[in-house]
Amino acid sequence: MDNVKSGIILKGVGGFYDVLDTSAGVIYTCRVRGIHRKEGGKTPLPGDGVTFKVIDEKSLTGFIDEIGERKNAFVRPPVANIDQLAVVVAVRSPEPDLSLVDKLLITCEAKNITPLILVNKVDLDEEGTAEAISRAYGKAGYRVIPLSKVLNTGYDELHQQLKGCKTAFAGQSGVGKSTILNIILNNWVMEIGEVSERIQRGRHTTRHVQLFELAVGGFVMDTPGFSSYAVSDIEHTELAYLYPEFRQVIGECRFTSCSHINEPGCRVRELVEKGEADPGRYGRYIQYYRELKEAYDNRYRR
């Protein structure tokens, strides 16, 4: 049985999967056994832990036998077992899309992912935008790291935060995700396998999800497709529980079915009024709640 190994899928293209043998640091090209597909097995995704059987050591080829239990999984982008999501927002060019930030944070809370907020381009910050974002999300308990390639700010802290995690990156177009990833890929990625491929980043409009192993342990994921996100698969009654700053007081509202919008004796609104929760985040909560409630009320209508 010594030709059976454990690994993690780094990339999948056209039915072929790059699988990293985590004990030896060698990448094998694997396919999925036909019997696995016939038995209704799940489709392998980048980020999956697998066992695989080596067919030929010389050509480094094999077959995936089993896919491990998943912590979480996404259809778009197709990836599994994200530990941490680095949500990137710029102080300007483009203007911060805090609605997208909040939707991504809600997704993190729902999918058991640790969020990390990166405020990029702080060298362009003339209006205190980075501080305002840090203050707003700090009230919710989120870690916020100001970043600047120009000033070389924040990258040491980011490096520490990536250690030991599978981290994906998300944010609107133009916020600097590619710049951040290129710095990571050029400085912190393990020198194993075909490293030249990573230099090709950005030259192709179509890219696949790919994991890169970090020298400090863990992986970063190049995950095209996280630039827009919806919260449509969440019930309106669950939404407030996905806000850490609200969660602590939800059970203290006067009404157990409180929507935290109009009801008297609402502890969430009290937090906002006292400045202990950010009013911008609360305003967006109301918007999402109403959208989800409307979708729920209309679910059987044609």
Cα–Cα distance for residue pair 176/100, rounded to 1 Å: 15
Q: What fold does the segment set 74-222 form as a domain?
A: Rossmann fold (3.40.50)
283: which 2 tokens?
Answer: 């305003």
pLDDT for position 5: 94
Select the CATH number that applies to the domain covering 239-297 from these four: 3.40.50.620, 1.10.40.50, 3.40.50.720, 1.10.8.80. 1.10.40.50
Examine the pLDDT at 93 and tell me if it is beyond 80: yes
Higher local confidence (pLDDT), 300 or 99 = 99
Annotated binding site: 120-123, 171-179, 253, 258, 260, 266
75 — pLDDT class (breaks 50, 70, 90) = confident
Q: Which of 51-60, 112-121, 206-215 has the lowest mean pLDDT?
A: 206-215
Give the pLDDT confidence of 261-274 residue by residue, as tens digits.
999 999 999 999 99
The model carries a pTM of: 0.89
Residue 153: Cβ-neighbour burial (10 angstroms; 0-12, 13-18, 19+): middle
Alpha carbon of 260 to those of 1, 10, 140, 230, 290: distances in Å? Answer: 58, 43, 16, 21, 11
Give the pLDDT confidence of 134-151 residue by residue, as tens digits.
999 999 999 999 999 999
Please report, for the chain, the start and end positions of each structural domain, with discontinuous segments joined by +: 4-69, 74-222, 239-297
237: which 2 tokens?
Answer: 């009654």
Whether residue 182 contacts residue 120, with contact meaning beta carbons closer than 8 Å, is answered with: no
Annotated binding site for Zn(2+): 253, 258, 260, 266
40 — pLDDT class (breaks 50, 70, 90) = low
Nearest to 70 by CA among 131, 9, 116: 9
Q: What percent of the chain has pLDDT over 70?
A: 90
Alpha carbon of 72 to those of 139, 166, 221, 273: distances in Å? Answer: 27, 12, 15, 36
**Torsional class of 2: left (φ above 0), alpha (ψ -120 to 50), beta (otherwise):** alpha
Residue 102: Cβ-neighbour burial (10 angstroms; 0-12, 13-18, 19+): buried
What is the C-alpha radius of gyration for the chain, rounded to an integer number of angstroms? 22
Give the pLDDT confidence of 189-212 residue by residue, as tens digits.
876 444 444 444 444 444 688 999
Give the pLDDT confidence of 44-54 residue by residue, as tens digits.
999 999 999 99
Find the mean pLDDT for residues 69-88: 93
**Alpha-helical segments (H) within the chain:** 34-38, 98-111, 129-138, 155-162, 177-187, 244-247, 267-273, 279-297
pLDDT for position 200: 46
pLDDT for position 35: 54
- Could you tell me how many residues make up the chain? 302
Find the mean pLDDT for residues 155-169: 96
Annotated binding site for GTP: 120-123, 171-179
Find the mean pLDDT for residues 78-86: 95
Residue 114 DSSP class: E
Find the mean pLDDT for residues 114-121: 97
pLDDT for position 76: 83
Q: What fold does the segment set 4-69 form as a domain?
A: OB fold (Dihydrolipoamide Acetyltransferase, E2P) (2.40.50)
Cα–Cα distance for residue pair 108/77, rounded to 1 Å: 14
